[in-house]
Amino acid sequence: MINFEEELKKFHPSLEIEDAEEIIYNQDLDDMADVLVKLLKDAKDESSKK
């Protein structure tokens, strides 16, 4: 039978996973709402210049 406590003691996370996790969490990504707000602001700025 598997002793889960012993197996957990032996567990070491993959370094590649930790690196990927750090990169993913540190990215500042825009969602669709941010993109739409920027597009509307740019369109408003363009129309006010004319």
Q: What CA–CA distance (Å, rounded) separates 19 from 15?
A: 6
Residue with tokens 């969602």: 31
User: Which tokens hold the place of 5?
Assistant: 């406590």
Amino acid 42: pLDDT: 94
Question: Tokens 């957990």 correspond to what residue?
Answer: 8
Q: What pLDDT does 16 receive?
A: 84
Per-residue model confidence as pLDDT tens for the chain (50 residues): 899 999 999 988 777 877 888 888 877 777 888 899 999 999 999 888 76
Cα gap 31→1, rounded to integer Å: 47
Tokens of 12: 């070491």
pLDDT of residue 43: 93
Q: How much is the pTM?
A: 0.42
Q: Looking at residue 44, what is its pLDDT?
A: 92
Q: What's the pLDDT at 29?
A: 74
